[in-house]
Amino acid sequence: MKRTFDFFVSACGLIVLMPFMLIIAWFVARSSPGGVLFVQTRIGKFEKPFRCYKFRTMAHGAPSAGSHEVDDSWITPTGRRLRSSKLDELPQLFNVLRGDMSLVGPRPCLPNQSEVIAARRARDVFRIRPGITGPAQLASIDMSTPEKLAEADASYIENQTFTGDLRIVAATVLGAGSGDAANR
């Protein structure tokens, strides 16, 4: 049921939000040199790497780093607004549609975040798809605290329900949680 819901919501979301996403893409393109999308390898279900899509929020040529490692000077003014409103995540609806991600789940980590991977592996977090949002993000737990993050992810997996996922999506849309350390 979760995959069907994810597919339906992401497909409808892309159709409805596409004009808005094109406007965001225009602002990103006008704000600084470089591509509109930021494409980065992330770790997915069963530790399978996938290409994660986001609107580019950092200056072209900024190093690839976890959000808690991002220097404030790397973020463009448009990117700052996109991050604070979480609109930079909208292209991840394509990842959900493709089956790389779910709407709700543990946030996908980078392949070089070995402490996060080890903590998640120990708690079997990789048995589900990563999500655009999740309870750890709403609780402002980021990848700088791998053990705490893995505990929150494992707790979500053990207690997940459809109505719980709906609450997490609604809370995210309404602006709950900071999730991204670069926003704090």
pLDDT tens by residue, 4-38: 999 999 999 999 999 999 999 999 999 888 899 99
Q: How confident is the model at residue 55 (pLDDT cuts 50, 70, 90)?
A: very high
Mean predicted confidence (pLDDT) in 41-56:
97
What does the pLDDT read at residue 179? 46
The pLDDT of residue 184 is above 50: no
Question: What is the average pLDDT score of the chain?
Answer: 90
Q: Which residue has the higher pLDDT, 152 or 63?
A: 152
- As a whole-number percent, the residues of the chain with pLDDT over 90 amount to 73
Rounded CA-CA distance 139/145 in Å is 12
The pLDDT of residue 183 is above 80: no
The total of other beta-carbon atoms located within 10 Å of residue 21's CB is 18
Q: How confident is the model at residue 66 (pLDDT cuts 50, 70, 90)?
A: low
The pLDDT of residue 138 is above 60: yes
Q: Are 90 and 80 in contact (CB under 8 A)?
A: no
Rounded CA-CA distance 146/30 in Å is 36
Q: How confident is the model at residue 49 (pLDDT cuts 50, 70, 90)?
A: very high
**Domain boundaries, given as residue ranges, for the chain:** 2-177
The helix or strand, by DSSP H or E, that contains position 163, with its residue range, turns out to be: helix 162-173
The pLDDT of residue 114 is above 90: yes
Locate tokens 């490692």: which residue? 69
What does the pLDDT read at residue 182? 46
